[in-house]
Amino acid sequence: MKPVLEARGLSRSFGSVRALDACDFDVYAGEVVALIGDNGAGKSTLVKAMTGNLDVDAGSLLLDGEPVAFKSPQDASAVGIEVVHQDLALAPHLNPAQNMFLGREIMAKGLLGKLGFMDRAAMMRRSAESFADLGSAVRSLVTPVGSMSGGQKQSVAIARSVAWANRVLFLDEPTAALGVVQTANVLDMIRRVRNSGVAVVLISHSMPHVLEVADRVQVLRLGRRVATLPAAGATVEQLVGAMTGALDTKSGASS
């Protein structure tokens, strides 16, 4: 089976700083891969390079085994790759349904649609279905998201991306600053997305959360993938050791 998304030898420099150094990465359909590394390891740069947000100096991307080049985030979205950024990128004055379809509005049929009228009922219905499928914590579809809790906002952002991601979903620190119950809801949503057959890439500094939901863990250090570990049986100490170079990770490396 081929990875749904694979990076081979990605390199990118910013002046004298080498953010990515022949970096590899792969993720398969229906699995959660955690992407971990210390600050400055290259995680954000790698994600940007794989989702059309950043050009690279060298290397290639493969989608379902075929070479692909994303010139913009819209290119990645068009093939079912979505990112939930740490800042969530929600419109606070809009409700969850409006945020769900922001930029992808369903227009009314016939003349009304041609005149610019939207099918609000259809968008509300589909949003409710998406939130229900994910077991979302969102309680109201008509309340502006700006007045919602952090967990509810996270649910809206994830549900919006899941609605359009049929290949890969990137989640950047999805449990940061959340309470215990809210975090449990988000981790459960990640499992549901994986079980639907979508590949999930989890970027996180929380090693317990990584071990709780990930199938595999890929470790970046100094712009390179230095280890790939099965999450089952791994320990926080092993992950931290791989991140810092305290452990010999050559046997786990798959670069």
Tell me, yes or no, whether 172 and 249 share the same domain. yes
Domain membership of residue 173 as a residue range? 1-80+167-177+198-255
Task: Report the CATH number that the domain containing residue 36 is assigned in CATH.
Answer: 3.40.50.300
Whether 76 and 94 map to the same domain: the answer is no
Pair (173, 159) in one structural domain: no
Q: What is the pLDDT of residue 178?
A: 76
Instruction: Answer whether residue 103 shows pLDDT above 90.
Output: no
Q: Are residues 154 and 252 in the same domain?
A: no
pLDDT tens for 24-64 read 999 999 999 999 999 889 999 999 999 999 999 999 999 99
pLDDT score, position 17: 93
> Same structural domain for residues 160 and 171?
no
pLDDT beyond 80 at 112: yes
Q: Check whether residue 173 and residue 156 sit in a common domain.
A: no
Average pLDDT, whole number, for the chain? 89
Both 64 and 173 in a single domain? Answer: yes
Q: Do 64 and 123 belong together in one domain?
A: no
Verify that 251 and 207 share a domain, yes or no: yes
Residues 12-35, mean pLDDT to the nearest whole number: 96
24 and 39 together in one domain? yes
Residues 140 and 155 in one domain: yes
Asked if the structure places residue 221 within a domain, the reply is yes
pLDDT above 50 for 251? no
Q: How many domains does the chain have?
A: 2
The reply to whether 85 falls in a domain is no
User: Has residue 186 been placed in a domain?
Assistant: no
HSE toward the beta carbon, residue 244, CA cutoff 13 A: 8
The pLDDT value given to residue 158 = 83
pLDDT of amino acid 137? 64
Q: Which of 113, 143, 164 is the last residue of a domain?
A: 164
| Three-state DSSP state, 181 | helix
What is the average pLDDT across 91-116? 88
Q: Is residue 23 part of a domain?
A: yes
Tell me the β-bridge partners of 218.
Answer: 35, 228
Whether 156 maps to a domain, the answer reads yes
What pLDDT, in 10s, does the model give residues 134-190? 776 677 888 999 998 887 888 888 888 888 888 999 999 888 777 788 788 888 889
Residue 197 has pLDDT above 90, yes or no: yes
Residue 40 CA to residue 52 CA, distance in Å, equals: 20
Mean pLDDT, to the nearest integer, of 199-227? 95
**Does the residue 158 lie in any domain?**
yes
Q: Which of 118, 141, 164 is the last residue of a domain?
A: 164
Q: Tell me what percent of the residues of the chain surpass a pLDDT of 70.
A: 95
For residues 105 and 222, membership in a common domain is answered with no
Position 203 scores a pLDDT of: 95
Tens-digit pLDDT profile for residues 81-99: 999 887 778 999 999 999 9
Whether the pLDDT of residue 254 is over 60: the answer is no
Percent of the chain residues past pLDDT 90, beyond the cut: 58
Query: Which positions ≥6 away from 39 have C-beta within 8 Å?
Result: none
Asked if residue 182 belongs to a domain, the reply is: no
- DSSP result, 17-60: EEEEEEEEEEE-TT-EEEEE--TTSSHHHHHHHHTTS---SEEE
Instruction: Look at residue 208 and tell me if it is in a domain.
Output: yes
Q: What is the Cβ-side half-sphere exposure of residue 199, based on CA atoms within 13 angstroms?
A: 21
